Amino acid sequence: MKQCLIIEDSAIIRKVGRLILEQIGYKVSEAESADEALVMCQQEMPQLILLDWMMPGMTAHDFLQTFSQTFPRSRTQIIYCVTELDSDDINFAFSGGITDFIMKPYNRESLQEKIMNLARVAA
């Protein structure tokens, strides 16, 4: 079973993401912060990460930098979850290692389509 880690400070959004991902066959872990997520990745590396764009403490960009330095050979796909289309921010996130982005709030259809597209590209 594929593993997904949701990094999100909102419990409601984590719950929605978990329900969607479990319905499409993922085993889901949750982290409230980027720091917590990095520890979890050391224990078990997920195939997919949903990364919130705005978190307290370590920013998403800091997470991406630390993740790529700590796990330079990781093949984990990272979907950057944003609430606004800021092209500079999204381009910066792509340069930091995201695979794609999605607008929040997402639904099952949009998230499943995004994941299917990633699978096609990876194949």
CATH number at residue 32: 3.40.50.2300
Domain that includes residue 94, residue range: 2-122
Rounded CA gap, 110 and 95, in Å?
A: 23
Residue-wise pLDDT tens digits, 80-115? 999 999 999 999 999 999 999 999 999 999 999 999
The predicted model scores a pTM of: 0.95
Number of domains comprising the chain: 1
Cis upstream peptide for 105 (omega within 30°) = yes
Q: Does residue 17 register a pLDDT over 80?
A: yes
The whole-chain average pLDDT of the chain stands at: 94
